[in-house]
Amino acid sequence: MIPDWTDLFRKYKGLWVGLKDDEKTVVAKGKTVGEVMEKAKRLGFKKPILFRIPSRIIPYIGKS
């Protein structure tokens, strides 16, 4: 099942986030991957799922 990240896009647009294994709980946020990893490790999360939330959503229709 694909997680619903609608709230993540609203709250964290333009930032990097570190997610728990459930793919929806944010454990750390920041402007860089390093900042997110540092914060996550301090909170006990050694390998969060890293994802950069786009600044804006651009729809795409077509083939690649």
pLDDT tens for 21-52 read 999 899 999 999 999 999 999 999 999 999 99
Answer whether residue 60 shows pLDDT above 90. no
The whole-model pTM stands at 0.82
Query: Does the pLDDT at position 3 exceed 90?
Result: no
Question: Is 19 inside a domain boundary?
Answer: yes
Strands (E), 1-60: 16-19, 26-30, 49-52
Strand partners, 18: 28, 50
pLDDT at 64: 65
Q: Please, are residues 19 and 26 in contact by the beta-carbon 8 Å criterion?
A: yes
How many structural domains does the chain have? 1
57 occurs within a structural domain: no
Structural domain of 18: 6-52
